[in-house]
Structure 1
Amino acid sequence: MSDNGGLSDKLKSAVSKGKGEIKDQVGNATGDRQKQNEGKMDKAKGEFQKTVGEFKDATKPKH
């Protein structure tokens, strides 16, 4: 396990949520429901990654 705790998961979360928001908005603007759904899935993935990062931070041994 790396010693950065949940930082990398939180960064991945931000990227996934940003990418998801873009896909969702593009899909909404163009009427592409599949693109919207991909965006929603990316945002959900980002939320999960954020939760994993927070869990890692919470369970990280204190020095």
Structure 2
Amino acid sequence: MEQEQTPDFERAELELLKIALKRTYKERFLVMTKLMKRTHMLKNASITHKALPAQKK
């Protein structure tokens, strides 16, 4: 029976941190502003529903 390998989350996190640290300040700034704009847009969003048409009997 084959043993499934358990994922090594700590190693994956460190790998992501290393990749993120290689980015320039400009790249980090652009990503952050994009996320802030999206957050602002979603905060101000409102969901509206159209009235359902009356059913004929």
Larger radius of gyration: 2
- Where on the TM-score scale, by shorter chain, does this alignment land: which range? 0.3 to 0.5
Instruction: Normalising by structure 1, report the TM-score.
Output: 0.39
Instruction: Normalising by structure 2, report the TM-score.
Output: 0.42
Structure with the higher fraction of residues in helix conformation: 1
The structure whose RCO (Cα within 8 Å, separation 6+) is larger is 1
